[in-house]
Copies of this chain bind each other. A is one copy, B any other.
Amino acid sequence: MRPGIDVECREVGLRDGLQIQTTFFATEGKIKWLTDEVGAGMPEVEACSFVPPKLLPQFADAKEVVAAALKTEGSIISALSPNLRGAQDAFAAGIHKLNYVTSVSESHNMANVRQSVDDSVEGFKRIVEARNTIPGAENVTLATGLSTALGCTIEGQVSEDAVMRLAERFVEAGSTELMVADTVGYANPQQVKSMFKKVIAEFGSTVSIAGHFHDTRGLGLANVFAALEAGCIRFDASLAGLGGCPFAPEATGNIVMEDLVFLLEGAGLKTGVNLDKLVAIRETVEKYLPDETLHGMYAKAGPPKGFVPATNFAAAAE
């Protein structure tokens, strides 16, 4: 974790937020968003997915976006890839971190990436091998997301044991970060606290643990606080809650980054993220996605009177 911060936030809007957008978000817009967010102090920005453009035309400019991202300084630039081919492209592009995802529930993994969980784990092993052998890739961090870890739209409840078993397989294979994901917005804070306590007790001393929550049923930030209580200090979110849920058009998807940072900074936890600068980036999203509803309460209501964030930007600038 970057020195001087207590909690590490990752912007996933450019990937998780844009992947369901049918409107192509102009490359220059992505680069402005990303650059401004690095400038706001965001510790990690997931810049794109490395997937075939035929499958997701939104990410046809992945190389260009990553190239621009790597010209910025101070943030981890990551990308997602579901397979070896994409990972190779991502390594070649020079990313700092690769995010790989597998659903804990078998049928969701099949629906999402068209292979069994076993095959996904094998696929990750090939990526580890590629990372270890491709010149220049050896320092890339490999993170694995445990999708549907807190519930599945196809299978319903997902057992903690299943999550722990998949986590163990990924850690053994060489993952150094586990993202426990409430992919479909099913989680309850009580459940989150229990799940994160278990994962952190088992793997927290050897790998990083991150929480990925959706706000589909309104509990996203309650789940963040529950995970914090369990000791989790890494969280995904997207600017303006971009992402949505394809199955519930009116419901938001990812938790809102601005509200997450407000929660953390108000709780006395330094994120290193400047809230004013973060809120200002909404204009870029508005400009390039004029028909999209921007979520987020903090941006609408503004800071409480006398609000003092935990991060001291004046001191940091000296």
Instruction: Please give the residue numbers on chain A whose beta carbons come within 8 Å of chain B beta carbons, in ascending order.
Output: 151-157, 184-186, 188-191, 215-219, 221-222, 224-226, 229, 245, 248, 250-252, 256, 259, 262-263, 266-268, 296-298, 300-302, 304-307
Contacts of A259 in B (CB 8 A): 217-219
Other-chain residue from B152, B153, B252, B301 in contact with A297 (beta carbon distance below 8 A): B252
CB-CB under 8 A from A152, the residues of chain B are 305
Contacts of A224 in B (CB 8 A): 222
- Chain B contacts for A306, CB-based, 8 A: 156-157
A191 to B267, CA, bound (A): 7
* Residue contacts A-B, CB under 8 angstroms, 10 given: A155-B305, A188-B266, A189-B267, A190-B268, A216-B301, A217-B304, A218-B298, A222-B225, A225-B226, A245-B301
Contact of A251 among B219, B248, B301, B307 (CB under 8 A): B301
Whether A267 and B225, one on each chain, are in contact in the complex, defined by CB atoms closer than 8 angstroms, is no
CB closest chain-B residue, reference A221: B222
Q: How far is the CB of A298 from chain B (nearest CB, A)?
A: 5
A190 to B269, CA, bound (A): 10
Other-chain contact of A156, B154, B157, B305 (Cβ < 8 Å): B305
CB pair A219 B301 closer than 8 Å:
no
- The 8 A-B residue pairs with the shortest CB-CB distance, nearest first, are A156-B306, A218-B297, A188-B266, A190-B267, A218-B259, A186-B304, A156-B305, A221-B222
8 Å CB contact of A300 from B151, B153, B250, B263 = B250
A185-B151 contact, Cβ under 8 Å, with A218-B221, A267-B190: no
Residues of B close to A219: CB separation below 8 A: 221, 259, 262-263, 266
Q: A154-B305, A186-B305, A251-B297 are in contact. List 12 more A-B contacts (CB 8 A).
A: A151-B304, A188-B263, A189-B263, A215-B297, A217-B259, A217-B304, A218-B259, A218-B297, A222-B222, A222-B224, A222-B225, A225-B226
Q: How far is the CB of A271 from chain B (nearest CB, A)?
A: 13
- Return chain B residues, CB-CB under 8 Å to A218: 221, 256, 259, 262-263, 296-298
CB contacts (< 8 Å) of A300 on chain B: these are: 248, 250-251
Flag if B301 contacts A225 (CB, 8 Å): no
A15 to B307, CA, bound (A): 29
Identity of the chain B residue whose Cβ is nearest the Cβ of A190 in the assembled complex = B267
How near does chain B come to A150, taking the closest CB pair, in angstroms? 9
Q: Is the CB of A263 within 8 A of B301?
A: no
Nearest CB to that of A265 among chain B residues?
Answer: B188
Give complex CA distance A259, B216 in Å: 11
Contacts of A217 in B (CB 8 A): 259, 262, 297-298, 301, 304
Q: Which of B153, B226, B248 contacts A305 (CB 8 A)?
A: B153
Give A213 Cβ to nearest chain B Cβ, in Å.
Answer: 11
User: How near does chain B come to A303, taking the closest CB pair, in angstroms?
Assistant: 8
Roughly how many angstroms separate A259 CA and B300 CA in the complex, as a whole number?
A: 21
Q: In the complex, what distance in Å separates the CA atom of A172 from the CA atom of B99?
A: 58
